[in-house]
Amino acid sequence: MVAVLVITHGNLAVELLRAAELILGAQANAAAVGLPPQEGPEPLRARLAGAREAPGGTPSNLSVSLWGREPGVRILAGASLPMLLEILLRREQQDVTTLGQRAVEAGRRSAVDVTATVLGS
């Protein structure tokens, strides 16, 4: 089973995992870490060194610096509930590279202009 660590600014990571668990039930080997607005990157780096949001953002930069060259690690940006659900639903059957690709595809597919789709305008 592929372990999952979601890192974002603020509480988004915690809330994404909470929403996913509301849908799927409790998830083993899944954790979420948020970067509070008042906290710089070094305290987060220290918390994470013992143990992925926007390219160039602090969570991405820290993830790349800590795990970017580790085999079996995939760092994704643009965290969303559809991406996380895709990973959590398939992580027992698929390798980390395939999971990363599928999660990015799920994120792209889920971004929809509902007004245009439903109302045609």
The domains of the chain are located at 4-119
User: CA-to-CA distance for 59 and 55, rounded, in angstroms?
Assistant: 9
- Which is more confident, 100 or 62? 100
pTM of the model: 0.80
pLDDT in tens, 7-55: 888 899 999 999 999 999 999 999 898 888 887 767 776 666 654 444 4
- Give me the architecture of the 4-119 domain, per CATH: 3-Layer(aba) Sandwich (3.40)
3-state percent breakdown (helix, strand, coil) of the chain, nearest 5: 50, 10, 40
Structure confidence at residue 60 as a pLDDT band (50, 70, 90): low
